Chains A and B, each alone.
Chain A
């Protein structure tokens, strides 16, 4: 049996346990998605969108979908950490927190402030009960699964996740933190988180999608169980007129896990979407980001950085459709590739016919450090209107020898100099985070991971970072 067939079999075995069993529309949706998956099959390298990304390593694993356990592994550890107030602020920003372990919502560890006016925030399963009507009309209307086999798989198997509705003029000042913890069990498991975020007119929200290997939180416990899990997530976002959203994604899964995610955003008139995406962990990480600028003056900004080493493989596929005139999009993705790692970037901007006055910018820069490392970059522009300003750029290069020499001549050892320069390279993206708390939240794991990739004295770096005057080491 190949992987696709195993997934299909898994669906048939577990469909009785999926939430929303009593809802016919949901069952129909699941079946449709499954059928689509059957006809599409899983992608291989003959597929243009998967040309550089082999999913062979998934093929070799024997996955089962994660069962809901009474005491999920890692729950105590997490509870410990959460009660540690000093850590808490750094690692878990915001007052709304939803915690998932292997894809299942853990109510005890989550804290959702239900008193927030104008906002509905629920776990997916809960939302199916309380807001069925809204879900039935929006779920799957933003994310398509045509030519997206993994989105189809997620749709058929989605079991838990986040539902957020921000009503008109709602402003939520603190970030909503969705923490997806992956823990080792006897068998490698697949989790299918599904996020549905709807912002009505003028709503303003910040949301964090945080994928984390639990053992990273607790290095000192010595607990290093291998974790070959697969996360297959889908995020759907709809921004109403003038709505604004800051979306953070920090992927720091364990190095032998796989992460395949897709995010679909639909933007109406004058809405603004900003994404900050950081991919650090996972042996195989794939991020599909599809944005539809549906209303005039909509604006989207995508910032991203990927830092990989060892035999890691990271793949960013972005697609921005300018469907309405007068919209603008900006993308900057930077990558550091060490060891035998491989990074893939494919950015597609499509300016549809008649969408005059569109502006699109795209930039992909890669720092190739490893002798056996590889970068495949493909920035694409498809333009069907004439009154546009579009540009894209892509570079692959190394650290500047002169800059290295300069630092060394000032008595800084080579390792440190290298790591500083690499950090400087990544900073361009980090500095685009304007919320200082969030910058710090991202900075910690980025520095820790950089230290692992490049070496060098990160502590010293922290000292020279103005935002880094805290007391806690990132280790």
Chain B
């Protein structure tokens, strides 16, 4: 116990530990957005013509769209011409060939973040693709993965080396017409991760991407595409951090997952973008579109997310259950403290027969934080025997925080069984009292109860991440008990 509270204290005094800025030369485009910028991005990445055309179409479509207003988050309008859409650490030539070519500052940065980029990675057994500002700087374990046929590389590399795969799958789950931020991302995305798991392959290690926004005034627009062929399996982790700045920075990412027959994808996120300071100054606007498609029969996609960072989170990892007997899962912990706002949830679209989905969402609001769950369970007219279970619990800490639930159930088939339940309450006085009378301090008791509240979700995370997530919760909740 004593050791744990020391640890806690260390974490608590650390506030946002990833708020440092790395000084290094960058190669950036001037701020602003127009077709010229998009052409330049495309040219810098030496992209084939189809990519440029796709980006331009997306941009033209984006111009016709209005900023979505339906979510329960409030922020001043973003001026899209103030954002730098491309910023890359300056490299000598086309890109890092091995770990030795990477600027030592970047390596140090990742070291500070605790990403096992070097050989340590081997011990951890995690293959990492690290994205710094807008470009991918390193992918580890590429060879080992290649041996079993798994392609895991940066998106730019995939465009160069596997254009046929990119062309086939890019935008097939999240088309650029999907929403405002997806269109923006499609137009200007600079890099991201790409993963392809061939037939009958169980990916031998956990794959992981680490995102970091470093430069001032940049927006980060990355795109992740994961394709898993028949009878294959992959588990994927994503983490993110950013320096502390007073300005808001925009992060608009798109993640597309495609699972074929009997394939399984596990996608876990620990989102720890800079949340802004106590007065709600600064922080990342995290507007992300994530969607998985269970294309084949018996496919399975599972999203697990721990959302502790960002000034605003606007994110709905969804699953389209197209194949028969496919299943989708969504496990989420979202924590908002100070003036953070989160509007997050999921969409489960049941199209195939005998599809199942599970939604477990835990929201914790503290300080002036606002936390909303917004989810849709749709059962189409042909989705016989669809089954869904949703549970959304909210915990309130402090009298100024708020918690909202907006579940939508749309059922068009009489054999569907849909259940939704939600509860909202504060930590009960009895529970606290029980802990206190056993000699546990109030702070420890709250942290314990919250850990218990989130356990169901943390259990879904890979081991290292679960530890990190737990620590994150404690840091993020610093000072809100009493």
Contact = CB atoms under 8 A, between A and B. Distances in A.
Interface stretch (B146-154, B221-229, B394-402): B394-402
B425 A390 contact: yes
B420 A383 contact: no
B414 A386 contact: no
Nearest to A367: B414
Interface in B374-411: 379, 381, 394, 396-411
B409 A389 contact: no
Interface stretch (A83-91, A176-184, A278-286, A391-399): A391-399
Contacts of B397: 386
A434 interface: no
B396 to A, nearest CB: 4
B415 interface: yes
Contact of B403 (A48, A377, A379, A381): A381
Given A368-B411, A380-B405, A381-B405, A392 B399 contact: no
Contact of B418 (A48, A384, A387, A397): A397
Contacts of A52: 410
B402 A384 contact: yes
B417 A397 contact: yes
A97 to B, nearest CB: 40
B426 interface: yes
B418 A392 contact: no
Given A372-B381, A395-B419, A380 B399 contact: no
A376 interface: yes
A390 B392 CA distance: 12
B425 A374 contact: no
B396 A383 contact: yes
Given A356-B399, A372-B381, A386-B397, A396 B409 contact: yes
Contacts of B401: 386
A373 B401 CA distance: 40
Nearest to B404: A382
A48 B70 contact: yes
Interface residues of A, number: 37
A385 B418 CA distance: 29
B425 A392 contact: no
A396 B405 contact: no
B4 interface: no
A354 interface: yes
A353 B419 CA distance: 29
B372 to A, nearest CB: 8
Contact of B405 (A354, A368, A375, A392): A392
Interface in A44-63: 48, 52
A386 B398 contact: yes
Nearest to B427: A386
A48 B374 CA distance: 14
A392 B421 contact: yes
A421 B271 CA distance: 48
Nearest to A359: B425
B424 interface: yes
B426 A386 contact: yes
B423 interface: yes
A469 interface: no
Contacts of B70: 48
A426 interface: no
Contacts of A390: 423-425
A314 to B, nearest CB: 15
A427 B421 CA distance: 22
A371 B381 CA distance: 9
B399 A373 contact: no
B182 interface: no
Interface in B403-455: 403-426
A364 to B, nearest CB: 9
A391 B408 contact: no
**Which of B404, B405, B421 has the most chain A CB atoms closer than 10 A to its own CB?**
B405
Contacts of B410: 52, 374-376
Contact of A379 (B398, B407, B418, B425): B407
Nearest to A369: B414
A378 B421 CA distance: 11
Contacts of A372: 381, 412
Nearest to B423: A391
**Which of B413, B414, B416 has the most chain A CB atoms closer than 10 A to its own CB?**
B414
A153 B418 CA distance: 37
Contacts of B416: 368, 396-397
A307 to B, nearest CB: 15
Contacts of A370: 414
Given A353-B400, A386-B426, A392-B421, A378 B408 contact: yes
A383 B400 CA distance: 10
B355 to A, nearest CB: 15
A395 B377 CA distance: 11
A393 B393 CA distance: 11
A379 B423 contact: no
Contacts of A377: 407-409, 411, 420
B423 A394 contact: no
B404 A381 contact: yes
A388 interface: yes
Nearest to A348: B406
**Which of A381, A392, A397, A398 has the most chain B CB atoms closer than 10 A to its own CB?**
A381
Nearest to B395: A386
A386 B408 contact: no
**Which of A379, A383, A395 has the most chain B CB atoms closer than 10 A to its own CB?**
A383
Given A52-B410, A382-B404, A387-B399, 16 more contacts: A379-B405, A379-B407, A381-B422, A383-B402, A383-B403, A383-B424, A385-B399, A386-B397, A388-B396, A388-B426, A389-B425, A390-B425, A393-B419, A395-B417, A395-B419, A398-B415
28 contacts: A353-B402, A354-B399, A366-B411, A368-B413, A374-B410, A374-B411, A375-B411, A378-B407, A380-B407, A381-B404, A381-B422, A383-B403, A386-B397, A387-B399, A388-B426, A390-B425, A391-B422, A391-B423, A391-B424, A392-B420, A392-B422, A393-B422, A394-B407, A395-B417, A395-B419, A396-B379, A396-B418, A397-B416
Interface of A: 48, 52, 353-354, 356, 366, 368-398
Ordered nearest first, which 8 A-B pairs have the shortest CB separation? A386-B396, A396-B418, A393-B421, A377-B409, A390-B424, A391-B423, A381-B405, A384-B402
